[in-house]
Chains A and B, each alone.
Chain A
Amino acid sequence: MTSNKSMTAATIRQWSRRFFLTAAGGIAIATAVWQPVQAQDAEWEKVVEAGKKEGTLVLYTALVGQPSTKKIAEAFTEEYGISVEVLEARASEIRERVRVEQAAGRFAADVMFTSEGQTRLYDAEDKSVDPLPVTPNSQKIKPQFKLQVPMASVMTIPYGIMVNTGLVKPADEPKSWKDLADPKWQGKILADDPRAIGAGYLWFFSTYDRIGEDYVRKVAGQKLVFTRDQRESQRRTARGEYSIYMPVILTDMSDLKGLPVKFVIPEEGVGYVLYGNVLLKKAPHPNAAKLYLDFLQSPTAQKIYASLGNGPVIEGVTEGLPADIKAISEAKLYGTSDSRRQNEMLAKAKDVFK
């Protein structure tokens, strides 16, 4: 009994010691983790305060005329009380403005909203961007959108196929990118020009890589008619000039409701362009800029983009969306272009589509 008792006592002591050690270790670890988190929070709070004091943010965007820009800016102002001044121009124009302004020592803009490909040029050639700051929301984005280039990913623009429902019976509708090579579409496809940087080139790049050269050559044999005005081309197809327009910005679906057209998400997935924010060098409002970068990866901004059909870069923001918008927003991403291979691929496109 005695020995039993002493064993029990020894066991208890032993367990107590273990418990104590474990508890102490746990507290130590928790403290170790908690302290930097707390430090990070405090650090971020300083950024928030400084950003609010700056009061203004100057945003340059290469996405011209998008109502979402204003919507997001208003939401940001509501959240932080920082006003957003937006300057819009097409990608090459806005890039040259930033480059020249910085070369002349005129640092006017804080943040640039642009594509992944353009960011590579800003970073490698113009040296006009700063490294990305680590912000609370930046750690929550999906791994595939954590990039090597200094761009804080925000959303994807998905591209698919548009069909005139007056000219194409439901049974005949193309279901995939591959279907576009069917000879029955010869002379009936209006296409964005693949020989110049743009949506058509994006289609060429992604399908060339994923399906192969034979496929794009077959499509080239379809006597495509080229255009470079995406929105007007949608209308032309709706009016019955062509049966198919490709690739179409799928998020435009809501704007064309009421017209005899259908937007098809190809079985393989959608071509896409990834857009995001870059922090420009010597930004006059650096803290407001960090807040903006963070805000666009927050659920609030991500939900706005998802509601327009854009692909979000964080999980869990597409719940409750109408089925057609949800389908576009969640569409499988099939392929995009790579700016490092642009010269090579443009030459190929010019060769295939002489």
Chain B
Amino acid sequence: MTIIHNRSLDDIAETAPTLGGNAVTRAFSGGSIGRLIGMLALIAILGFLTIYPLAMLLYGSLHSTPPGLAGEFNLNGYRAIMTTQNLLVLVNTVGISLAKTVPSLTIAVFLAWIIARTDTPFRGTLEVLITLPFFIPPILTAMAWGMLGNPQVGVINLVWRSISGSQDPLVNVYSYGGVVWHMCQYSIPFLFLFTVDAFRAMDPSLEESSRMCGASRWTTFRKITLLLMLPVLTSSFMLSFIRGIESFESPLFFGLPAGIKVITTDIYESINHRATPDYQYATALSFAIMGLMFLLVIWQWALLRGKSFQTVTGKGFRPNVMELGPWRWVTFGFCVLFFVITVVLPVGQLLLGSFFRFFGFYTYEMLTLEHYRAVFSNSEFWRAVRNTMMLGLLGATATMALGAVVAYVSVRTRWRGRSLIDGMAWLPWMMPGMVLGVGFLWAFAMLPGPIPIYGTVWALLLAYLALGTPVAVRVMTGAYHQLSYDLEECSRVHGASWFQTMWRIMVALAWPAFAVGWVLTFFGIMRELSASILLYSVGSETLAVVLLKLWANGNAEQVSVIGLMMMLLVILFRWVQLRFIKARISKL
């Protein structure tokens, strides 16, 4: 049985061994000046990436004109958002986000438990397959679900009518339900990716103790398993809830026809569909939302403060799986059902449609490979692939490295200012993407002339770094919460340097989380449009920009071809991650 040493951070810091070594080592290993320099460096980096663009936006919200134009400071933007109409829209937005986050988290946790902790057959393959929808551009799945679930001629409704003889449709995706469902398509795989490794990193002896003490399986799951996962669960809930508030594609595609308004469609309209873009209104509204979101972060801090969630300790444990007996086929069936509904149905539409001249017109004479030919012979597409791969590889690695350091400092040290950097790392997540993109544009373009960032790929890279940091930090925070301090201390007591300890303990043991975060960040970069469209320069087009061009010109089938290729890339990445990296970790 493993005993959790519920020690406070203060104890740890006081007993932490002091090490010599070079300046860099000292900077991170506890010397007070070195610590100060390390912390200041982190604050400076995060300040440039997050505070600086947000400060430009704050200026925009308090000034009658955007940066660079003559105007005056006033509160008109904030006054304009204080309307009953906006309050109703806010309530609506929060309601939709809760309606999608709660079931998404429940399903994701259940799926993660099935995959990580049960003997469900083919769970390795299922783990890759059920996450696929997350990596497809939302506009494609929206189109696919539009074809499947429109009340007039949607495939599901046509089948339903032919079976039941009913004239009424079974489903209508152009509704609240449709908006929530489409958002769930993204949040379930996202939350699953977030939680599955936390389940894996859990010592089953804790659950066994609970069972031996007479607790039922459900009570054990509730009081031990879920409670130990509190940091991961609260982090995921908040990431998903906030993203739900900021979700744009689903409400625009499925909500607009049904008259559903949310905050982001209002912001979008104020920038894109008014006589003159109203940046003051858009930024003021975004800051008001951000303020509300930050209350949630404070709630999470209060919830987790003083508690320990360590499950990976110095004692070895077998990543036990629960033997479900015949029930394993039920869990398998659940996973397959989920896969069929969320992957096979929409992706099947995209795959099928990519071989026909037009989506939805599946006749022999419409069969063609033209869309594949068009994509493969499109030089702009290949240039964008090269740019995006380079930015993705560099960006995801740098983001995860930064995220890991920030998470380490905020979770595993008691350095003064650790809450500040944790808070700073949250900020980009709380600002709607389309507004933050403008913040980056203002920030990078307004830098003094000699700083060559605007108009280069560095602008894109820095924006991606800022945008990916919240997820990177959350992923690594969850993982670090689970690692016992014994391991770190043991390593250092035995003479390992700070970096050796980091590498052998903090990196090696948190590697699965790092890899998941890397994939999430990499594909986040691949899909990112709001900042990319404002920062790319001629020759540095990204895949998202090319997708926008194709979509805007009505080449939905070509967009699907690219979407499917992105999905293949995900399968490849996940396969490498799950097979190769895990094999390497066991040798570390």
- Residue positions of A touching B, CB distance < 8 A: 58, 64-67, 85-93, 95-97, 99-106, 108, 121, 125-126, 193, 195-198, 225-229, 231-232, 234-236, 238-242, 252, 255-256, 258-259, 339, 342-343, 346
Contacts and interface: CB of A to CB of B under 8 A. Distances in A.
Given A93-B533, A104-B68, A252-B554, A235 B359 contact: yes
Given A87-B537, A238-B358, A258-B358, A231 B441 contact: no
Contacts of B570: none
Interface residue range, chain B: 35 or more
A235 B358 contact: yes
B550 A85 contact: no
A236 B146 contact: yes
Contacts of B12: none
Given A95-B277, A100-B67, A106 B550 contact: no
B87 to A, nearest CB: 18
Contacts of B545: 88
Contact of A193 (B256, B276, B536, B548): B256
Contacts of B277: 92, 95-96
Contact of A65 (B68, B357, B438, B549): B549
Given A87-B537, A90-B533, A241-B153, A255 B275 contact: no
A88 B549 contact: yes
A235 B552 contact: no
B143 interface: yes
Contact of B552 (A231, A240, A241): A231
Interface string B358-391: 1111000010000000000000000000000000
A174 B68 CA distance: 49
Contacts of A92: 271-272, 277
Interface in B150-183: 150, 152-153, 174
Contact of B274 (A66, A197, A227): A197
Interface stretch (B90-98, B301-309, B442-450): B442-450
B213 interface: no
B199 interface: no
B266 to A, nearest CB: 11
B360 A235 contact: yes
A64 B548 contact: yes
Nearest to B252: A228
Interface in B518-541: 533-534, 536-539
Given A90-B533, A235-B358, A235-B556, A101 B276 contact: no
A232 B277 CA distance: 25
Contacts of B447: 104
Nearest to A260: B361
The 8 closest A-B CB pairs, nearest first, are A103-B68, A196-B273, A342-B275, A65-B553, A231-B554, A65-B549, A65-B552, A85-B538
A241 B150 contact: yes
Contacts of A259: 358, 361
Contacts of A225: 174, 257
B73 to A, nearest CB: 17
A65 B449 CA distance: 31
Interface string B421-463: 0000000000000000010011001110100001100000000
Contacts of B537: 87, 108
A101 B445 contact: yes
A104 to B, nearest CB: 5
B134 to A, nearest CB: 22
A231 B445 contact: no
A96 B150 contact: no
Contacts of A242: 152
Contact of A197 (B67, B272, B359): B272
18 contacts: A64-B552, A87-B536, A87-B538, A90-B552, A93-B533, A95-B277, A96-B441, A96-B534, A99-B69, A104-B447, A105-B449, A106-B445, A196-B273, A231-B553, A235-B554, A238-B360, A239-B361, A241-B153
B153 A97 contact: no
Contacts of A108: 455, 537
A87 B276 CA distance: 22
Nearest to B366: A258
A99 B66 contact: yes
B54 interface: no
Contacts of B146: 232, 236
Given A197-B274, A229-B253, A239-B147, A66 B68 contact: no
Contacts of B110: none
Given A103-B67, A225-B257, A89 B538 contact: no
Contact of A240 (B152, B272, B358, B554): B152
Contacts of B550: 65
B179 to A, nearest CB: 15
B28 interface: no
A142 to B, nearest CB: 28
B269 A232 contact: no
Contact of A232 (B143, B366, B548): B143
B435 to A, nearest CB: 12
B549 A64 contact: yes
A100 B68 contact: yes
Highest count of chain B CB atoms <10 Å: which of A125, A238, A239: A239
B438 A96 contact: yes
Nearest to A124: B276
Contacts of A103: 67-69, 445-446
Given A89-B534, A125-B276, 17 more contacts: A64-B553, A88-B549, A90-B552, A96-B277, A102-B68, A195-B273, A196-B272, A197-B272, A225-B174, A227-B256, A228-B256, A231-B551, A238-B358, A239-B153, A241-B153, A242-B152, A342-B275
